[in-house]
Structure 1
Amino acid sequence: MDDLAGYLQARRALADPAASGIAVDSRRRVSGLRREEVAHLSGVSVDYYVRLEQGRATQPSEQVLDALARVLALDETEREHMGRLARQRRRRVNAPSGRPRPELLRVLDLVVDAPALLMDCRLNVLAGNRLARSLFGRPLPGLNTARHIFLEEAERGLYAEWESCTLDVVGHLRLAAGKHPEDARLAALIGELAMGSERFRRLWARADVRARTHGRKVYQHPLVGRLELHQENFALPDASGTEMLVLSAAPGSAAEDALRLLASLGADDTDDTDDADARPGVGSRAGE
C-alpha cells in the first residue's frame, strides 16, 4: 500500500533544486531532483540511493534518513512517516478494531454544546453525539468522511473549504497507510477513492502526509448557514488509532449562536437515532 521506495520517488520529484543550490535552466527536463543529486547532497553513494528507490536496500540508518529528510525538505511529520516506512519490515502495528468502549460513548453524550465524534484511522465515524448528528444530517455509524468528501457529490456543499479538506484527508490517509501497512480495509478504501476521484489520485501521487491535531473547520449547513468552528483531535491512549474530535465555536461568535439553533432543531431526535450511535456495528460500513 505504501513503502519507502515509492515515498522517496514522490518526494524527490517535488523537491526544489534551487533550495539545494542547484542551478536550473531551460535544458533541465526532470522535475525535482535527480537521483544522483539526492545521493550527493545526502552523503550516500548513488548506487545505494538507487537501491533505496528500487526497494532493494532495506533498513537505512537513522543518519541516512535524517540526511534524506534534510535534502528533501521534510518536516517533522514527514520525517517520522519516512522512518515508519523504513521500519515496516521489522514492526507491524495492529489495525484498529473499530469498536469503541461503552465508557467512550458516555463521554460523547456529556459533550452537549459542541459536535463530538469518535473516528478511526480509516476516517470511519464510529459514534457521535446529538449535535454531531445534526451537523451531518444523518446517523453517524456508516459514515466515512473520506468517501463523504471525495465521492458523494451531493454532500460536498457541507464543506465550505472543500479543497483544504481534501488535503487533510489525503495527508491523514498517507500517515495511516504508513502506520498500518497490513490493513486490507484501509487499502481497499484508498483504492476506492483512487478509482472514484481524479483529485484524490493527483493528491495521493504527491505523497504528502499531515498530522492535524487541531485547526479551523468551516461548514455551510443547509439549516443554520456558515459555521466557523475549531477542531481539536484527542488521540486515545490505547494505540487503536481512534480519535475523539470536538468542534467548538468561539464564545460570543455567530457560530456559537448557530450551534445553539442547530441543537434546538435537533432536539426532537428519536430514541432510535440515539440507539444507532450506541451500537457501532450498525450501518453498512461501520468499523471499516
Structure 2
Amino acid sequence: MSFAAILIFALLLDALIGEPRWLWDRVAHPAVLMGKLIRWCDNHLNSGDNRRAKGTITALLLIAVGWAAGTFLGAFGGVVEILATAILLAQRSLVQHVRAVGDGLRMSVQEGRRMVSRIVSRDTAKMGETQIARSAIESAAENLSDGVIAPAFWFLIAGLPGICVYKLINTGDSMIGYRNDRYEEFGWATARLDDLLNLIPARLTALLIALPARCFDWQGIAADAGLHRSPNAGWPEAAMSRALGIALAGPRAYDGQMREFPFVNAQGRADLTPVDIDASIAMLWRAWAGFLALCALIAIL
C-alpha cells in the first residue's frame, strides 16, 4: 500500500478508537517512552560547558532513534504501519479533551478551570468563562497542527520513520525547547528543528480550517500569525479565530506573571462561551475530513 492509503486507514482508526485506556493502563504509551529518552538526555547531557553542542547531539540522537524505530516497525508490513501511525495521531483524544472543557464549563466555572488546566500551561486559577473558552479553542487549533496534521504530513513524506522522527522532535521541543536559563542553549537545536518540521504543516492546517468556513482572508490570517511568539503556532490559531468570528490570544498569566500578548483577530467577538468551544470542535472535524480527502486524492493519483 502507498503511504497515502496507509494513512487513510490510520486516520480512520484513530478517529474511531482514539487512546484506549485499557491498553495504555497496561503498557507504556510511545509518548511516555519518548519522554523518558528526552529526560535521560536532559539529566545526563544538560550540564557544564558546550550545552548547545550537547543539545545538538541530543537532537541528532532523537532523529536517529525515530528513524530506526520507524524503519524497524515498518518492516512488519502494512497492518503494523497502520496501527503504529494511528497511535501517533491524536484527533479523537484532542476532541475529547477540548469537549471536556466545554462540558465542565457548562457545569461551573470552577470545573471549566479544572478541565482547561489539563491542556494548557498558563495559569487557570482566576480565569472566567471567556478566558477558559478562549484557552480551549487556542489549544484545539494549535494541537490540530502538532498532534494530527503535522505527524500525518510527515508520514506522507517519509512513512513511519518520518512520523516517528517528527513525534520525537516535537516531544523534545515541548520538554526542552524553552527559552530559559536551563534550556536556552541545550534545547536550541531541537526547538529550531521543530520550527522547521512544522513550517508547512502549520500553514496547511490553517488552510484546512479556513477553507471549509469559506474564510478567504489569507492576508489577515498571515498578519495575525506574525503576531504570535511562535513562527508556526499562530497560523492555525489565526485561521480558527476568523473561521469562528472570534478574538483569540491576548493577555494571559504564566507562573503568576501577566503577559501582554496581542489579540488575534482583535475585531472578532470577545465574549466566548461553551457554544464557541463546540464550534471549534466542529472545525476540528471539518479540517480532519479535508485532510482525509486530500489523502484519498493522493492515493488515487
TM-score under structure 1 normalisation? 0.30
More strand by share: 1
More helix by share: 2
TM-score under structure 2 normalisation? 0.29
